[in-house]
Structures are given as C-alpha cells and as structure tokens.
C-alpha cells in the first residue's frame, strides 16, 4: 500500500511562503485522490486542498483559495502544497493523505496518512 512522508514545514513570518512536499512510495493507483489536511491545537482535522492523481482536478477550502496551490510531480511521486500569503491562523500540523475514489473533504474517508509536518506562522 502507498506510504506518505511529508516535509517542508517550519517557522515563517506572516505574508511569507512555504512549500510542503508529500512523497509517496508503493503503488499509486490511477483512482487515488490526494488530500492535504491540517490540525490546529484544540481543533479537529480539516481539509485544506486535494487533487485527483490522474486527472489533476483540484479542490480547496474557502479559507485558502487564492493562496494555496496543490500540484504533482509524477516522476517523483510527490504532491506539493505551495502556501503563499501565510497567516497566523494557518498555523497547524499539516498532513497528506490518500483515498481511492473521488473528492471527499472528511478525514474519515482517507485510509493512508503521513506523519505530519508542523507549520508555524508568526505575526
């Protein structure tokens, strides 16, 4: 089964940018949907962005539209989350995840998860 490893988190000032990476190993089925989630202290895990591995169709949470972009490098089996114009409220642990099928925003619908990477945005 596919395994996921996130990287690229860190500390950044408000207005700055980070690019998160999610490297996948194992077989990636064409029906996979890749998602980015985040979890802030005291809050549940929420959907941030996602894309179909094969078609490239993307979805974004309203809170990040126009600021975040999800993309894929098929040769590297890697999904990226480019985060621009970061805000303190973006501070969270960010996870990548995968499910087989169409777009879903609920974390309960994703079977495989990475270990998470911390993003901290200072004001």
HEC string of 18-86 equals EEEEEEEECCCCCCEEEEEEEECCCCCCEEEEEEECCCCCEEECCCCCCCEEEEEEHHHCEEEEEECCC
* Band of pLDDT at residue 53, cut at 50, 70 and 90: confident
Percent of the chain surpassing pLDDT 90: 85
pLDDT at 27: 77
Q: Which of 24, 19, 7 is nearest to 97 (CA)?
A: 24
How far is residue 35's CA from residue 84's CA, in Å, rounded to a whole number? Answer: 18
pLDDT one-digit tens code per residue, 65-107: 999 999 998 888 899 999 999 999 999 999 999 999 999 999 9
Residue 31 pLDDT > 90: no
Percent of the chain surpassing pLDDT 70: 100
Q: Which two tokens stand for residue 116?
A: 């998470």
């Amino acid at each position: 089964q596919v395994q996921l490893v996130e990287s690229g988190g860190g500390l950044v000032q408000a207005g700055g940018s980070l690019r998160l990476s999610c490297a996948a190993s194992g077989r990636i089925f064409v029906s996979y949907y890749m998602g980015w989630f985040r979890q802030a202290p005291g809050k549940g895990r929420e959907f941030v962005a996602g894309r179909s591995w094969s078609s490239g169709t993307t979805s974004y949470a309203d809170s990040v539209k126009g600021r975040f972009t999800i993309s894929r490098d098929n040769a590297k089996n890697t999904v990226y989350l480019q985060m621009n114009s970061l805000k303190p409220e973006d501070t969270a642990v960010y996870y990548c995840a995968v499910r087989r099928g169409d777009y879903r925003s609920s974390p309960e619908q994703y079977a495989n998860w990475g270990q998470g990477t911390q993003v901290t945005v200072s004001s």
